[in-house]
């Protein structure tokens, strides 16, 4: 039998951040997945969590945990798959360090991910985005901060973890202004900024408390803005903007909807999925293809390029001489 605690600690505190260079958000998500799993297994086996063995986390236990995640906690299949991905990653880590659990690891890897419905992405129209960006009160410090965050979240198409994790040094205010992003999988990209977005960030930096955290965006207590904090800010201003553009009140508004909106507007402007993938920091075009499915203009172009089956493209023949004269005139 092999104790779980030391290996899980080494995986979460050493392997993920140092060897895999996983983001803080990924490390936190994995740690939370194992917090749920270890608590569930300890209760099921009536053991203290620190006394659990790796062998206790076998396939039947993992399957029971995944069922618990969906049926008791009410999580969707996507969350269930995220928990399973964390467990599989841990067992891949163990394969080369604890040979005794190799057979167990192979059985864990055989647990299938659950298929999920791929709904069309939600996005905002230009009028809805503009109403949202105009909602914060520029006369207050918090309003100046909120406006800068909303502008950057949309214009940069940033993930919420990228937005709240930005350091002050990652903004380059020299013309043309840009922001240096360290994204998912430690992939880096530099995004040029619209003049209005850059001006909003400069306005925030001008009133931002000087002797405080090095993070670009701070909460009212002077500490780094959190995901939950930005989600609250977004919901507050979306509710205010709905008085100007009522359709906002009928849509779910989240940080990722701003990212989707940036992608959709960029796709419609450039017609180039590769540029959208580069801007969003996607590792492959497969991640970006969801925007093609959601963009009706792409389908209209395909429809316009095709003639209906069995119908030959015809030539217009005017019904009489007057119409012929008008058609050629």
- The SS3 of residue 295 is coil
259 catalytic per annotation: yes
- pLDDT at position 117 is 66
- pLDDT at position 303 is 46
Domain boundary assignment for the chain = 4-109, 126-301
**Model confidence over 235-260: pLDDT tens digits?**
999 999 999 999 998 888 999 899 88
Q: CATH assignment of 126-301? A: 1.10.443.10
Structure tokens at 109: 């890897």
| Given the residues 159, 237, 260, 265, the one annotated as active site | 159
**Model confidence over 45-59: pLDDT tens digits?**
999 999 999 999 999
Low-confidence ranges of the chain (pLDDT < 50): 299-300, 302-303, 306-307, 309, 311
- pLDDT at position 187 is 78
| Given the residues 83, 151, 237, 259, the one annotated as active site | 259
- pLDDT at position 301 is 54
Q: Which of 64, 55, 106 is nearest to 83 (CA)?
A: 64
- pLDDT at position 308 is 52
| Given the residues 291, 293, 299, 321, the one annotated as active site | 291
- pLDDT at position 129 is 92
32 catalytic per annotation: no
The span from the CA of 283 to the CA of 152, in Å, is 21
| Given the residues 68, 184, 208, 237, the one annotated as active site | 184
321 catalytic per annotation: no
């Amino acid at each position: 039998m092999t104790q779980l605690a030391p290996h899980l600690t080494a995986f979460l505190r050493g392997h993920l951040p140092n060897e895999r260079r996983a983001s803080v958000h990924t490390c936190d998500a994995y740690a939370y997945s194992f917090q749920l799993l270890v608590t569930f297994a300890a209760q099921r086996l009536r053991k203290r969590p620190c006394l659990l063995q790796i062998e206790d986390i076998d396939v039947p236990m993992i399957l029971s945990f995944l069922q618990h995640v969906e049926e008791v906690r009410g999580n969707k299949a996507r969350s269930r798959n995220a928990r399973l991905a964390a467990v599989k990653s841990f067992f891949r880590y163990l394969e080369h360090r604890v040979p005794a659990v190799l057979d167990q690891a192979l059985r864990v890897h055989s647990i299938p991910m659950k298929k999920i419905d791929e709904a069309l992405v939600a996005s905002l129209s230009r009028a809805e985005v503009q109403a949202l960006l105009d909602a914060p009160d520029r006369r207050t410090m918090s309003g100046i901060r909120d406006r800068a965050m909303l502008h950057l979240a949309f214009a940069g198409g940033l993930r919420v973890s990228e937005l709240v994790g930005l350091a002050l040094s990652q903004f380059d205010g020299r013309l043309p202004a840009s922001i240096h992003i360290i994204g998912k999988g430690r992939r880096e990209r530099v995004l040029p900024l619209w003049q209005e977005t850059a001006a909003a960030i400069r306005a925030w930096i001008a009133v931002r408390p000087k002797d405080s955290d090095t993070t670009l965006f701070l909460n009212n207590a002077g500490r780094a803005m959190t995901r939950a904090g930005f989600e609250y800010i977004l919901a507050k201003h979306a509710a205010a903007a709905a008085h100007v553009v009522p359709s906002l009140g009928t849509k779910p508004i989240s940080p990722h909807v701003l990212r989707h909106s940036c992608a959709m507007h960029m796709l419609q402007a450039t017609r180039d999925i590769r540029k959208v993938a580069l801007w969003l920091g996607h590792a492959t075009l497969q991640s970006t293809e969801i925007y093609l499915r959601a963009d009706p203009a792409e389908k209209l172009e395909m429809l316009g390029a095709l003639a209906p089956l069995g119908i030959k493209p015809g030539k217009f023949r005017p019904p009489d001489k007057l119409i012929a004269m008008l058609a050629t005139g």
